[in-house]
Structure 1
């Protein structure tokens, strides 16, 4: 049954520009002004987080927009404390909108005596009082099963497919999609199917965590414009090495489409100096000034898809409809006009 009140958005400090963009987009859809709930999320001198909500939220359908990106622990605690404040203020339903789900790479025990931190974070979010989670491109799909509440996992691949079709118009016959490892084949295949392109794999061997011993291209990339597809780019070492390997294997160009631009440490400098012609990321994590000024990094907005997803959840409509190209085309029409 559809909700009788308007959806209300509140944001922490992790990605305020994205939260404001979602609010603007929802205002356009609703034909009425929809602003972020007035609140303060700040720190005491000892760095304890304090939240105060100024607007009345009793009986409201609340959406807390907060990626748990760097600094992951601070942003996670902000999310938990905001949820607790809303729960104690008698909000009817609380949906955590987490564009980037931190700790998702720790989704299993890789060796003895190690944690499953993604499960711990899921427990914390649920215990704080969240009724539903909305996120984008979880690193591991099984994380949805760590929750006992509904989890809507949106996908960047349909949006990336629209972007590729727009920017490689007339050249799609030369495009080849690349998975940077065997584990990412399903994600890469999804985009390859959408744009009807062939698929290849860069197989990497690691001697220890963070260090790649060697790479091998599985498939013929000679004369192709290669597009590497992945969900996370952290230090960009593996990504830049994969681009070099593809060029050595005969690729004419290498581009990358990565959902979450973590881009920590030397990542931006590596991308700028790499053989990659472009790196396309989303704004699921607020880009730094270095990222925004890098000439070969381009940012695709996620506000359109998140705004529509929030409206669908609020109105009791399907979220999985946003996986379909026909649904996304009108949402992203201003960015990718159809000729």
Structure 2
């Protein structure tokens, strides 16, 4: 096996490598003055099962486009140089939000990205808490593996809750299934009855509307669940609505903390008791540094990624790890 982590994803790659009890394999990346680049493995990949980790959220001067292009080219380079199999390990998969047409002549970018991976000869794509699980599976013709964070978040929810009743809440209709799965996982683990709720949200030309609120959150510890936090507007909108309806405490949990422009409003709002994300992208760690007073916790996913790679490499059963019942 060979395991590489591209520039910008080295810390997460190193954590996954430690979980595997191996070292990251060396590679070279060079950027040219005109914006082009080249990357190559510095060890032989011929006949090897190759894993390449790179998270595709833009940060640190590299856009999502830059990161996607570098990952695609590196995977193709490994295939060009005799790799028996290539797996893209992409904790945050860019362009997963645009998975269907909602306006005339819209792109379906999720499918286009899938076609790019397949054109590079990629055998398998592994990702974490993608925006739309069904769309992700349907977009790819190569093997797709979707890792689940429910088992990471469930113990933390138990610690934060105390004796309060718990409500799992989706900030929009599109995330209802994700929230329901977390609710079921918590009930199975704790034996407690867990409440559920969601809020209506429609976005058109960047204007958000929708007032429907379903669920009883009064006196509860409310956990607002989403796949990502970008500006934080969706989370904050839901948190304020829950507070208005009597929520005792409100927490935001998401796999990916992108924390783009405007996220400071989320960090500073008294409506939010705590925000919990994973270290799937660098921007989460940067936010922790940039907003030292923010009530932000970051859960590590290196062990989860490493265990997934181990099972895939040894052809073990991965169903429990990805959150699918046997």
1:161, CA displacement in angstroms?
1.3
Unaligned runs of 5+ in 2: 188-193
1:19-54 Cα offsets, whole Å, 9 max, x none, are 011011110xxxxxx111111123111111210221
1:82, CA displacement in angstroms?
0.7
Q: Runs of at least 4 residues of structure 1 off by over 4 A?
A: 323-326
Q: 1:237 aligns with which of 224, 233, 236?
A: 233
Match of 1:157 in 2: 150
Contact 1:215 1:242 (8 Å CA) reproduced: no
Match of 1:318 in 2: 317
Match of 1:200 in 2: 197
Match of 2:276 in 1: 280
Match of 2:171 in 1: 180
Q: Does 1:52 align with 2:52?
A: no
Question: What secondary structure sits across from 2:201 in the alignment?
Answer: strand
Over 3 Å counting, the alpha-carbon distance change for 1:96 and 1:256 in structure 2 is same
Match of 2:141 in 1: 148
Q: Does 1:295 align with 2:291?
A: no
Match of 1:336 in 2: none
- Map 1:111-122 → 2, pairs under 5 A: 111-122=103-114
Question: What secondary structure sits across from 1:215 in the alignment?
Answer: coil
1:167, CA displacement in angstroms?
3.4
- Map 1:41-120 → 2, pairs under 5 A: 41-70=29-58, 71-120=63-112
Match of 2:14 in 1: 20
Question: What secondary structure sits across from 2:200 in the alignment?
Answer: strand
Contact 1:97 1:135 (8 Å CA) reproduced: yes
Contact 1:41 1:78 (8 Å CA) reproduced: no
Q: State how many pairs are aligned.
A: 312
**TM-score, normalized by length of structure 2?**
0.90
1:269, CA displacement in angstroms?
4.2
Match of 1:130 in 2: 122
Structure 2: distance between partners of 1:294 and 1:88: 48
Question: What secondary structure sits across from 1:227 in the alignment?
Answer: strand
Unaligned runs of 5+ in 1: 1-6, 28-33, 327-339
1:236-275 Cα offsets, whole Å, 9 max, x none, are 1121111111101111111011111111112144323341
Structure 2: distance between partners of 1:148 and 1:241: 37
1:162, CA displacement in angstroms?
2.4
